[in-house]
Structure 1
Amino acid sequence: MRVGLQISTATIPQTPTGESLAYIAEQADQAGFSTLVMPDHFTLRPESAPWARMGDSSTPAVIDFFEAWSVLSFLAARTSRIKLSTLVSGITMRYPAVLIKTVDTLDALSNGRAYLGVGASPNFGRDEHERMGLPFPPAGERIARLEEVLQMALQMWSGEDKPFEGKYYQLTSSLGAPFFVQQPHPPILIAGHGEKMLRLMARYADIVSVGFGQDLDDMQKKLEFLRQQCEILHRPYEAIEKTTFYTPPVLRDGHLDPAALDAIDALAKLGVDEIMVRPPSDAEAFEIYATEFIPAVNNIAVAGR
């Protein structure tokens, strides 16, 4: 099993700097984290995203974010091993062909470390879209657009010279020489939780981000539905890697609480390949992650692997 790291580029509680972000990424690269991801937002009001509230009067009227793919490109130059992705880019946030080209370029310049992390844009994003002048169609249409984006990516990465004729997106030609290093293309990471999204994941995803690791029953139901959809498509369920968010483990008296590994082992038995945690709170905690937590998780066998 692997441990990934989710970092934030929000301007709360303080605005990050290039050096502060690079420090976290460099430490994560050296500590053995498998993946570094970040949310893809531009600006959010706390009332539309309750998880972003500070819980007191210090919460600003608007929470700004550094643009995610720019940050990933910057961090690619400061790291050498860790995989890089958004978790995830809503397909209504940017024009699809440009996003695909961005990932293609990042994969080339990072020597094969980029994922195409995409989703159907969360419902709480309406305010953000409206203030940024971006369209925000109904949820069903957003999922349909996402499928077209995935089809477009596969066609563009094939280098085949033909138009792309979707209902929502059209390209006069997809001719070109893709830059990516990974084969057959940068892995497609899709995040979501509803049945329509899980059907889409079964068809297109190389990696899926599903739910929160603390809710084992919900995780089991979602993964079982994903397995059923793979069987319908005659696609090996094991071909899809699974990742999930996880609350950072408790550290007691300068060491890892062994109970944390019991819960993670339960996830591995469900077939979860990677847990995604937030950065440790300080240098001492980071050291415990590197010397105790990550090696222990790496030794946990994942069912079906």
Structure 2
Amino acid sequence: MKIGLEFGEFGWAGGPAKAAEVIARFARTADDAGVDLLGVGDHLWQGPQAGGREQPYLECFTALTVMAVHSSRARLAPVVAGVHFREPAVLANAITSLDVLSGGRAVLGIGVGWDADESAGMGIAFPPVAERFERLEETIRICLRLWEGGTEPFEGKHYRLPEPLLVPRPLTRPHPPILIAGGGERRTLPLVARYGDACNLYPTPDLADKLAVLRRLCEAEGRDYDAVEKTVILPFELGTYGERADELAGLLRGLGDLGVDTAIGIISGPDPVAQAEIVGNKIVPAVA
């Protein structure tokens, strides 16, 4: 099993003045420790699980670019980009720029988004969920069109690109991997089977059932189920000094037995660098 790490909080010791230093040290520490993926959530407000909107939150792609500069091997991903936040061409350009600047390490993590209050408060349209799923599929198709160098006009229900053009193209061939978040069996997993290079699920009791559904959907699409990376996301509750690391490693090994390839751990607390060190010392070798 591979390990990814995502920032869950931005309220670090030293405040905003220390943010660049913390992100840089975190990226170097995790990268040197063998962490496979570095992620940042895509929001404007901190979620209620981490103190709510009054807590700090840094912009996703800016933070990922700092991580790119201070790492050399780990993949870099928004986990995950909300489809309602950006026009598809802007998103394709952002991922392309991250891929070029990181030497070919970008991943497009994408989903339909969830925080209606955040969007309303910040003046961003938040269509009904059915429309967001339509936009999600069109966005993926537009990204693929631009990454593949196609220049024919795109005509969709929600987006129209009369002259698609993206220069440069990503370094990753054929394109940056597409990770689609969510476990819905009616809309999300079919999109994974059709377009996704990876899924992103929660480690809920029905995880094995979700993976079985994805296998059937891949077979129906004529795709190799084993070629789709299975990822889960969960808080990494390590304890201040790693006293819960063995418990977490056991949980992760169990997920690996179900077929999970990558576990993305949400790191919280005032010292993410220390948490990354614990992950490198105790989690990465325990589940490799």
- Of 68, 78, 82 in structure 1, the residue corresponding to residue 70 of structure 2 is 78
- Of 203, 207, 220 in structure 2, the residue corresponding to residue 219 of structure 1 is 207
- Of 37, 49, 52 in structure 1, the residue corresponding to residue 50 of structure 2 is 52
TM-score norm. by structure 1 comes to: 0.85
Aligned to 2:190: 199
Q: CA deviation at 1:236?
A: 0.9
- Of 118, 131, 139 in structure 2, the residue corresponding to residue 149 of structure 1 is 139
Letter in 1 for 2:250: D
Question: Once superposed, what is the RMSD of the aligned Cα atoms?
Answer: 2.4
Aligned to 1:139: 129
Gaps of 5+ in 2: none
- Of 186, 204, 218 in structure 2, the residue corresponding to residue 230 of structure 1 is 218
Letter in 1 for 2:49: W
1:38 aligns with 2:40: yes
Instruction: Give the distance between the partners of 1:147 and 1:254, measured in 2 at CA.
Output: 41
1:290 aligns with 2:280: yes
Query: 1:157-168, aligned counterparts within 5 Å?
Result: 157-168=147-158
SS in 2 for 1:246: strand
Judging changes above 3 Å, is the alpha-carbon distance between structure 1 residues 138 and 41 closer, same or farther for their aligned structure 2 residues?
same
Letter in 2 for 1:159: G
Instruction: Give the distance between the partners of 2:245 and 2:113, measured in 1 at CA.
Output: 36
Cα displacement string for residues 81-135 of structure 1 (whole angstroms, at most 9, x for unaligned residues): 111111101110111100111101110110011111110111xx11111122211
Judging changes above 3 Å, is the alpha-carbon distance between structure 1 residues 163 and 111 closer, same or farther for their aligned structure 2 residues?
same
Q: CA deviation at 1:263?
A: 2.5
Aligned to 1:303: none
Contact between 1:160 and 1:176, CA under 8 Å: does it hold in 2?
Answer: no
Instruction: Give the distance between the partners of 2:62 and 2:231, measured in 1 at CA.
Output: 24
Letter in 2 for 1:78: H
Judging changes above 3 Å, is the alpha-carbon distance between structure 1 residues 51 and 255 closer, same or farther for their aligned structure 2 residues?
closer
Letter in 1 for 2:37: T
Gaps of 5+ in 1: 54-58, 299-305
Q: Which has the higher contact order (CA 8 A, sep 6+)?
A: 2
Judging changes above 3 Å, is the alpha-carbon distance between structure 1 residues 103 and 254 closer, same or farther for their aligned structure 2 residues?
closer
Judging changes above 3 Å, is the alpha-carbon distance between structure 1 residues 9 and 167 closer, same or farther for their aligned structure 2 residues?
same
Q: Which moved more, 1:176-185 or 1:141-150?
A: 176-185
Instruction: Give the distance between the partners of 2:116 and 2:266, measured in 1 at CA.
Output: 26
Instruction: Give the distance between the partners of 1:103 and 1:40, measured in 2 at CA.
Output: 13
Instruction: Give the distance between the partners of 1:256 and 1:52, measured in 2 at CA.
Output: 20
Cα displacement string for residues 116-166 of structure 1 (whole angstroms, at most 9, x for unaligned residues): 1110111xx111111222111110110010000000011111112210101
Query: 1:44-193, aligned counterparts within 5 Å?
Result: 44=46, 49-53=47-51, 62-122=54-114, 125-193=115-183
Instruction: Give the distance between the partners of 1:8 and 1:24, measured in 2 at CA.
Output: 13
SS in 1 for 2:206: helix
SS in 1 for 2:199: strand
Judging changes above 3 Å, is the alpha-carbon distance between structure 1 residues 10 and 154 closer, same or farther for their aligned structure 2 residues?
same
Instruction: Give the distance between the partners of 1:87 and 1:276, measured in 2 at CA.
Output: 9
Letter in 2 for 1:113: R
Judging changes above 3 Å, is the alpha-carbon distance between structure 1 residues 126 and 248 closer, same or farther for their aligned structure 2 residues?
closer
1:276 aligns with 2:264: yes
Letter in 1 for 2:116: R
Instruction: Give the distance between the partners of 1:8 and 1:252, measured in 2 at CA.
Output: 15
Aligned residue-pair number: 283
Cα displacement string for residues 25-59 of structure 1 (whole angstroms, at most 9, x for unaligned residues): 11111111110111100125xxxx43133xxxxx6
Judging changes above 3 Å, is the alpha-carbon distance between structure 1 residues 172 and 267 closer, same or farther for their aligned structure 2 residues?
same
Instruction: Give the distance between the partners of 2:136 and 2:91, measured in 1 at CA.
Output: 12
Identity %: 37
Instruction: Give the distance between the partners of 1:188 and 1:147, measured in 2 at CA.
Output: 12
Instruction: Give the distance between the partners of 1:239 and 1:171, measured in 2 at CA.
Output: 31
Contact between 1:3 and 1:276, CA under 8 Å: does it hold in 2?
Answer: yes
Contact between 1:107 and 1:179, CA under 8 Å: does it hold in 2?
Answer: no
